[in-house]
């Protein structure tokens, strides 16, 4: 299915064209507004003429070819019109009518029928229950709502699932130059992912912004976003439903901490999508990426301001928004020579009033700062509220021009940020526009946009593609196939499978009779841990089936008898036997897990174990597989990483072994994505550097358990 007919039709029919205010009138006006140059067919059985043109009673009466149809009639009449469109070989339909899936089961059934017919005939459908779409760049429109007097044109394509948000973006007056505005409505057929895929290939489109409530066709969306990244076109997404969305119902913690929201975020990250948290953040980021003359030259940012107060406000949000303040050590002497003796030379830099009264000072400082290798972008923090007196506005404008000159001399892009998000002083705004400096509004929104774009533009990290290990996979598959299919793999069985990927575990022996534990324990070395193994019972501790610190063969036998007795009285499942394990004295205990997300595929999770994951969700998530570098970055993201860094006098933990364990699980989940729902090692005992780590407990949950 091509979107060409829908997005760039050569001919359009307006079904329900009208000279009364409403969709059938607005659609005509919208074509006029964008300067549509193709054929327009007006369909209205009750009027012979509209806008000085002859109308036709029905779509079937159009003699010529029709590329796309606009329709906003009652939902009941849609099937008939779609049939007519199908006969005419129409390639795209924008259906504004409501009364479909949003309106209960009858509507949902009508929508399913619509989707079926569209699929059979390869028709792209915008909507139903939408406002239609505008293609300013390609001079086309299938749009049913009134338009403002003027819309700034440019390279930003907007796709929104909410008509209301579409109207907001269209009228925001924020100077965003739009190439498209697409409201996707119920997405019966054509979804945001389809539009994104088409738009990234359009040379007129330089960046894409999207507002989503529900991400349909996620794999396609991620692929299109990754393609956009490769083409150097930023994709900025505001995905709502961040707090409301449910968690996967799963047996282990991995699913609880890596719910659909978190996995979606990991997928966005992997595809280079910039996420915004509010409509203002979406708009400011779009203003930045579409307005900056050149791309940031790395993650680091250099900040100047006239005001200690404004700098304090920026510092308050810098960490939260992930702003990397670049070191400026090598420019310190040069800058210090330009400022009063008492000036504090740092980044952010207070230019003091010297910078205001002598713009050449500001210019030279901006140049010196901009020349620092790690400064990829310069930021001028400067409030310029609308009511400002002319004298002050002129001074601030001169400052901006001076800093812009210095930034140009250093070859670095400049962004101006205001703490106030109301409309700025027109003189200052004009100066910024003339200098090609985006003027962002709001401390948080502005600095978040800078940080996001700088990260986006930074060279790709060293995370390499991970090659498959066929030998490991084959070995694991043999072990997997040998397991009984009528119950969950027991802990030691799961561990044996993961061992194929190099994951270590404690020395252990599985026995079936209490009499065997003494010898088994002696072979391992006291003290040992003894666990009762019951089919399909996951939480052994909670069931009282774990005894630790067993110091003699005698004690082991007593404990074994007690555990077997207790296990037999549980109504959980068959008692399989006893597990005798060496006692571990780790530096820290972590959780490493992986699961197959129904939307985004295999993912891997790592972070604090036990109470840390349950109370604090202290984990990092990535799409699987990951390599050692990515695994190390995951651990560093969590607060639990402090436990590995020589915490409270303990030795530092074996980070390399932890990274290898994460890599192992990420490979396993990819290799077994068809069979496994979830795998979890919790706790993963981490020993001192060079001593490795050990999977103290393991759980593998197959996708479907037969029996």
625-644: contacts with a second copy (CB under 8 A)? 639-640, 642-643
CA distance 182 to 164: 12
Q: Does 337 bind a second copy (CB under 8 A)?
A: no
Q: By C-beta, is 117 or 279 nearer to a second copy?
A: 279
Give the nearer residue to a second copy in terms of CB position, either 323 or 670.
323
Q: Select 340 or 459, whichever has its Cβ closest to a second copy.
A: 340
Total residues contacting a second copy by CB under 8 A comes to 91
Residue 275 β-bridge partners = 237
Write down the least CB distance from residue 660 to a second copy, Å: 24
Q: How far apart, in whole angstroms, are the C-alpha atoms of residue 435 and residue 356?
A: 18
As beta bridge partners, residue 595 has 603, 678
Closest to a second copy by CB, 269 or 650: 650
Binding residues for a second copy restricted to 48-67, rule: CB under 8 A: none
Q: Please, which of residues 123-152 interact with a second copy by CB under 8 A?
A: 145-151
CA separation for the pair 331, 337 (Å, rounded):
10
Nearer to a second copy, 56 or 643 (CB): 643
379: three-class secondary structure by DSSP: strand
- Is residue 694 within 8 Å of 505, Cβ to Cβ? yes
Write down the least CB distance from residue 149 to a second copy, Å. Answer: 7
* Contact of 679 with 593, CB cutoff 8 Å: yes
**Of residues 62 and 400, the one with the C-beta less far from a second copy:** 400
Measured from the CB atom, the residue of 277 and 327 that comes closer to a second copy is 277
Asked whether 536 and 485 are in contact (CB, 8 A), the reply is no
Asked whether position 616 contacts a second copy by CB under 8 A, the answer is: yes
Give residues 240-259 in contact with a second copy (rule: CB under 8 A).
240-244
Member of 316, 330, 515, 554 binding a second copy (CB under 8 A): 316
Residue 308, interface with a second copy (CB under 8 A)?
yes
Minimal distance, residue 255 CB to a second copy, in Å: 17
398 binds a second copy per the rule CB under 8 A: no
Instruction: Answer yes or no: are the C-beta atoms of 94 and 68 closer than 8 Å.
Output: yes
Select from 21, 219, 336, 474 the one that contacts a second copy (CB under 8 A).
21
Tell me how far CA of residue 161 lies from CA of 147, 393, 698, in angstroms: 18, 40, 42
Phi, psi torsion values for 509, nearest 5 degrees:
-140, 140
Q: Residue 489 carries which DSSP code? A: P
Which one, 401 or 444, has the nearer CB to a second copy?
Answer: 444
Angle between helices 491-499 and 655-671 (to 10 degrees): 100
Q: Does 171 bind a second copy (CB under 8 A)?
A: yes
Instruction: Decide whether 590 or 664 has the Cβ nearer to a second copy.
Output: 590
SS3 of 613, please? helix
Give the span between the Cα atoms of 318 and 464, in whole angstroms.
29
Select from 618, 627, 678, 680 the one that contacts a second copy (CB under 8 A): 618
Q: Report the residue number, 63 or 615, with the smaller CB distance to a second copy.
A: 615
Cα separation, 122 vs 102, whole angstroms: 24
Q: Is 113 in the site for a second copy (CB under 8 A)?
A: no
Distance of CA 20 to the CA centre of its chain: 43
Helix (H) or strand (E) holding 239: strand 235-239
Residue 169 or 670 with smaller CB distance to a second copy: 169
Euclidean distance between the first and the last CA atom of the chain, given in angstroms as a whole number: 42
Angstrom distance (rounded) from CA 9 to CA 11: 5
- Which region, judged by CB under 8 A, interacts with a second copy, from 63-71, 318-326, 426-434, 529-537? 318-326
Least separation in angstroms between CB 521 and a second copy: 18
Among 37, 63, 337, 341, binds a second copy (CB under 8 A): 341
Question: Which residues are CB-contacts of 341 (< 8 A; sequence separation ≥ 6)?
Answer: none
* Encoded tokens for 402: 């001076």
Strand partners, 329: none
Task: Tell me whether residue 48 or residue 309 sits nearer to a second copy (CB atom).
Answer: 309
**Binding characters for a second copy, 519-548, by CB under 8 A (x = yes):** --------------------x--x------
Nearer to a second copy, 211 or 510 (CB): 211
Edge-to-edge, what's the strand order for the sheet holding 124-126?
39-43, 11-15, 68-71, 92-95, 124-126
How do beta strands 575-582 and 528-534 pair? antiparallel
Map the footprint of a second copy across residues 374-393, applying CB under 8 A: 383, 385-389, 391-392
In whole angstroms, how close is the CB of 496 to a second copy at the nearest point? 27
Residues 590-609 that bind a second copy (CB under 8 A): 608
Q: Which residues from 413-472 bind a second copy, rule CB under 8 A? A: 419-423, 425, 441-444
Q: Where are the alpha helices (DSSP H) in 292-358?
A: 308-321, 332-336, 352-357
Which of positions 187-216 make contact with a second copy (CB under 8 A)?
211, 213
The window from 164-172, 322-330, 363-371, 453-461 that contacts a second copy (CB under 8 A) reads: 164-172
Q: Is 170 exposed, middle or buried (0-12, 13-18, 19+ CB in 10 A)?
A: buried
Q: CA 368, 374, 375, 376: dihedral to nearest 10 degrees?
A: 140
Residue 357 binds a second copy, judged by CB under 8 A: no
Nearest approach, Cβ of 120 to a second copy (angstroms)? 28
Pick the binder of a second copy from 86, 113, 121, 278 (CB under 8 A): 278
């Amino acid at each position: 299915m091509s979107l060409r007919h829908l997005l760039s039709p050569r001919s359009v029919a307006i079904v329900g064209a009208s000279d009364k205010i409403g969709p059938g009138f607005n659609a005509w006006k919208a074509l006029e507004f964008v300067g549509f140059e193709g054929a327009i067919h007006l369909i209205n059985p009750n009027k012979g003429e509209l806008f000085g043109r002859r109308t036709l009673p029905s779509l079937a009466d159009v003699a010529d070819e029709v590329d796309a149809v606009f329709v906003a009639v009652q939902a009941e009449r849609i099937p008939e019109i779609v049939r007519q469109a199908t006969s005419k070989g129409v390639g795209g339909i924008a259906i504004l009518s409501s009364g479909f899936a949003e309106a209960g089961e009858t509507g949902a059934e009508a929508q399913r029928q619509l989707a079926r017919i569209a699929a059979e005939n390869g028709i792209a459908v915008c909507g139903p229950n939408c406002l239609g779409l505008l293609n300013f760049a390609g001079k086309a429109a299938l749009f049913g709502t009134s338009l403002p007097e003027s819309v700034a044109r440019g390279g930003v394509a907007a796709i929104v699932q909410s008509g209301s948000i579409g109207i907001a973006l269209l009228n925001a007056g924020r100077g965003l130059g739009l190439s498209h505005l697409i409201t996707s409505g119920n997405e019966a057929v054509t979804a945001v992912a389809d539009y994104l895929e088409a738009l990234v290939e359009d040379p007129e489109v330089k960046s894409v912004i999207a507002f989503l409530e529900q991400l349909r066709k996620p794999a396609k969306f991620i692929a299109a976003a990754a393609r956009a990244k490769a083409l150097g076109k930023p994709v900025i997404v505001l995905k709502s439903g961040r707090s409301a969305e449910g968690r996967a119902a799963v047996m282990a913690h991995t699913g609880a901490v890596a719910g659909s929201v978190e996995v979606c975020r990991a997928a966005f990250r992997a595809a280079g999508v910039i996420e915004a948290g509010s409509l203002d953040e979406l708009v400011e980021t779009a203003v930045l990426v579409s307005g900056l003359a050149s791309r940031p030259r790395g993650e680091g940012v250099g900040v100047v301001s006239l005001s200690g107060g404004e700098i304090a406000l920026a510092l308050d949000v810098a960490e939260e928004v992930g702003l990397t303040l670049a070191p400026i050590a090598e420019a310190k002497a040069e800058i210090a020579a330009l400022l009063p003796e008492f000036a504090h030379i740092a980044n952010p830099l207070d230019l003091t009033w010297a910078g205001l009264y002598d713009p050449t000072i500001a210019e030279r400082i901006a140049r010196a700062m901009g020349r620092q290798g790690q400064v990829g972008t310069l930021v001028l923090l400067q409030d310029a509220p609308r009511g400002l007196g002319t004298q002050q506005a002129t001074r601030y404008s001169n400052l901006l021009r001076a800093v812009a000159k210095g930034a140009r001399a250093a070859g670095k892009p400049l962004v101006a940020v205001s703490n106030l998000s109301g409309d700025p002083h027109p003189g200052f705004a004009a100066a910024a526009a003339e200098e090609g400096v985006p003027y962002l509004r709001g401390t948080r929104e502005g600095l978040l946009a800078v940080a996001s774009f700088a990260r986006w533009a930074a060279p790709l990290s060293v995370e390499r593609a991970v090659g498959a290990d066929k030998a490991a996979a084959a070995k694991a598959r043999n072990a997997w196939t040998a397991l009984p299919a009528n119950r969950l793999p027991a802990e030691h069985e799961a561990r044996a499978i993961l061992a194929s990927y190099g994951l270590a575990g404690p020395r252990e022996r599985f026995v079936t009779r209490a009499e065997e534990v003494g010898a088994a324990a002696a072979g391992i070395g006291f003290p040992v841990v003894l666990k009762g193994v019951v089919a399909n019972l996951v939480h052994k501790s909670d069931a009282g089936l774990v005894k630790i610190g067993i110091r003699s063969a005698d004690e082991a036998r007593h404990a074994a008898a007690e555990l077997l007795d207790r296990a037999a009285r549980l109504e959980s499942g068959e008692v399989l036997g006893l597990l005798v394990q060496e006692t571990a004295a780790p530096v820290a205990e972590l959780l490493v897990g992986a699961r197959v997300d129904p939307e985004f595929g295999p993912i891997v999770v790592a972070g604090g174990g036990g109470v840390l994951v349950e109370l604090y969700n202290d984990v990092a998530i990535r799409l699987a597989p990951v390599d050692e570098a990515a695994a190390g970055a995951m651990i560093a993201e969590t607060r639990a990483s402090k436990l590995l860094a020589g915490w409270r006098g303990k030795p530092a933990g074996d980070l390399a072994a932890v990274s290898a364990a994460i890599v192992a699980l990420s490979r396993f989940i990819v290799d077994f994505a068809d069979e496994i729902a979830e795998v979890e090692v919790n706790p993963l005992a981490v020993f001192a550097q060079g001593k490795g780590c050990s999977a103290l407990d393991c759980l593998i949950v197959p996708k479907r358990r037969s029996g």
